[in-house]
């Protein structure tokens, strides 16, 4: 087993924050994990599972042993009456996987095109965009318990998916056992419908459809539109470091929503099935005047206030401390103006 020491992490997190891992092991299969767990020096050490580093803020060097997931492979592994079951290794790049499914004639993931990160990270925060969430296409996953070395499989119900949430984001002890810092996802299986229907109805997508004058778009067209929308609105992490949306869109009661609208009639809000309302955090931050503002080299993206960006690169770039100071200042001003506490999305280490 090779434990790389003092490894630069700048290229392994999409914020491109400069930090180092004290120790890093590349995981290509379950045997690599079992070797770590059998090693007298590393078995008991705290561990941190790293996928594409696209939802991560590093505030210093990483002391836990980093397990960099590089499990590869993509294939159709089965079918049900209604769906094809497609499996991918946790280390596969998410967007490449989505493009591959379409090339195989297996639509269903096109609304989730261009989301940075790996397949293994997709269920952790139940990624979602343009009307589709991962849980809508999820079948099951295989993971390994880092405390016992046991392999296990979870279906959708066992993953306890919520909005940008799953069992992998919660700690805890039995009987309410969360899997935060406890599980390493090896493979994910997706259920892609044999009879495909486009998911439209999201304002940006509808605009694209109207522009194209296209009554019955194909999955490839939706994929292309989603890529165009994201490229126009969101910074490419290869060029400008960022971790996607930095805050979750808050949910409020109908009364709270009405109260805010009474003061700010332009509030962007969406009614949910249970009668509560989801508010656009980007709009709330924008309304507080944060778009384009910065703390040191950490900035609020000019075209989407929900995204914090690294204005520099390398040693001249943002520190994790600057990013978190900026995030804290945004939370304070949104709280002062709207009485809402914005919840952060990325993992802070």
The residues annotated as belonging to the active site are: 164, 245, 345
Contact 92, 118 (CB under 8 A): yes
Give 75 or 332: the residue with its C-beta nearer to ligand EPU. 332
Which of 160, 199, 200, 280 contacts ligand EPU by CB under 6 A? 280
- The piece of 1-9, 34-42, 84-92, 279-287 that touches ligand EPU (CB under 6 A) is 279-287
CB of 74 within 8 A of CB of 100?
A: yes
Establish if 13 lies at the interface with ligand EPU (CB under 6 A): no
Round to whole Å and give the CA distance between 336 and 349: 27
Residues 201-220 that bind ligand EPU (CB under 6 A): 204
- Residue-by-residue DSSP string for 247-282: BPPPEE-HHHHHHHHHH-TT--EEE-TTS-EEE-HH
Told to check if 245 binds ligand EPU by CB under 6 A, we report yes
Instruction: Considering the complex, state which of residue 3 and residue 280 has its C-beta at the smaller distance from ligand EPU.
Output: 280
φ and ψ of 265, to 5 deg: -60, -20
Q: Which of 38, 39, 64, 34 is nearest to 50 (CA)?
A: 64
- Please name which of 267, 290, 262 lies closest in space to residue 278, comparing C-alpha atoms: 267
CB of 235 to ligand EPU, least distance (A): 10
Number of residues that make up the chain: 349
Applying CB under 6 A, does 237 fall inside the site for ligand EPU?
no
- Closer to ligand EPU by Cβ: residue 26 or 278: 278
Residue 70 vs 249, nearer CB to ligand EPU? 249
Angle at 289 between CA 288 and CA 293, to 5 degrees: 130
Identify the residue among 282, 299, 317, 320 touching ligand EPU (CB under 6 A).
282
Binding-site member from 268, 294, 313, 340 for ligand EPU (CB under 6 A): 268
* E strands in 15-57: 20-27, 47-50, 56-57
Segment near ligand EPU (CB under 6 A); pick from 32-40, 251-259, 277-285, 326-334: 277-285
238: which residues sit within 8 A by CB, 6+ positions away? none
Cβ(298)–Cβ(318) under 8 Å?
A: yes
Contact 3, 24 (CB under 8 A): yes
Gap between the Cα atoms of 39 and 37, Å rounded: 6
Among 20, 248, 269, 293, binds ligand EPU (CB under 6 A): 248
Nearest CA to 104 out of 117, 120, 118, 85 is that of: 85
Q: What's the min distance (Å) between Cβ of 18 and ligand EPU?
A: 22
Closest among 161, 189, 33, 194 to 97, alpha carbons compared: 189
Q: Report if residue 306 touches ligand EPU, rule: CB under 6 A.
A: yes
Q: Which is nearer to ligand EPU, 154 or 300 (CB)?
A: 300
What part of residues 116-155 is at the interface with ligand EPU (CB under 6 A)? 129-130
Tell me the closest approach of the beta carbon of residue 322 to ligand EPU, in angstroms: 20
Sign of CA dihedral 312, 127, 46, 66: negative
Q: Which is nearer to ligand EPU, 173 or 211 (CB)?
A: 211
User: Which listed residue (283, 294, 296, 321) binds ligand EPU by CB under 6 A?
Assistant: 283
Q: In the complex, what is the shortest distance from the CB of residue 268 to ligand EPU, in angstroms, rounded to a whole number? A: 4
Provide the pairing of β-strand 65-69 with 47-50.
parallel
Q: How many residues bind ligand EPU (CB under 6 A)?
A: 18
In angstroms, give the least distance from the CB of 32 to ligand EPU: 29
Which listed residue (249, 310, 319, 344) binds ligand EPU by CB under 6 A?
249
Q: Measured from the CB atom, is 190 or 225 closer to ligand EPU?
A: 225
Asked if 305 is part of the footprint of ligand EPU (rule: CB under 6 A), the reply reads: yes
| Site of interaction with ligand EPU (CB under 6 A) | 129-130, 204, 233-234, 244-245, 248-249, 268, 280, 282-283, 286, 291, 304-306
């Amino acid at each position: 087993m090779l434990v790389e020491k003092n490894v630069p992490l700048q290229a392994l997190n999409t914020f491109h924050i400069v930090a180092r891992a004290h120790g890093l092991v590349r995981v290509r299969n379950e045997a690599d994990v079992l070797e770590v767990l059998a090693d007298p020096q590393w078995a008991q050490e705290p561990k941190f599972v790293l996928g594409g580093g696209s939802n991560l803020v590093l505030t210093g060097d990483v002391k836990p042993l980093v397990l960099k997931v590089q499990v590869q492979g993509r294939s159709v592994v089965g079918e049900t009456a209604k769906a094809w079951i497609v499996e991918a290794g946790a280390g596969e790049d998410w967007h490449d996987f989505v493009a591959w499914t379409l090339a195989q004639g297996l639509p269903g993931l096109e609304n989730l095109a261009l989301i940075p990160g790996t397949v293994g990270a997709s269920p952790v925060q139940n990624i979602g965009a343009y009307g589709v969430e991962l849980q809508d296409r999820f079948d099951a996953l295989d993971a390994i318990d880092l405390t016992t070395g046991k392999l296990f499989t979870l279906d959708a119900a066992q993953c306890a998916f919520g909005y940008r949430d799953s069992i992998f984001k919660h700690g805890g002890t039995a009987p309410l056992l969360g899997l935060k810092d406890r599980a390493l996802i090896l493979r994910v299986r997706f259920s892609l419908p044999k009879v495909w229907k486009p998911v439209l109805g999201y304002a940006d997508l509808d605009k694209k459809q109207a522009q194209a004058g296209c009554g019955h778009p194909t999955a490839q067209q939706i994929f292309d539109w989603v890529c165009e929308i994201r490229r126009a609105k969101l910074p490419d992490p290869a060029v400008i470091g960022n971790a996607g949306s930095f805050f979750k869109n808050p949910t409020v009661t109908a009364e709270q929503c009405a109260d805010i609208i009474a003061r700010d009639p332009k509030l962007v809000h969406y009614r949910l099935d249970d009668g509560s309302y989801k508010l656009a955090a980007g709009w709330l931050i924008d309304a507080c005047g944060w778009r384009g503002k910065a703390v040191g080299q950490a900035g609020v993206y000019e075209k989407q206030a929900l995204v914090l960006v690294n204005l520099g690169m390398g040693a001249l770039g943002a520190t994790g401390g600057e990013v978190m100071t900026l995030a804290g200042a945004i939370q304070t001003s949104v709280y002062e103006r709207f009485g809402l506490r914005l919840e952060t999305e990325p993992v802070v280490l």
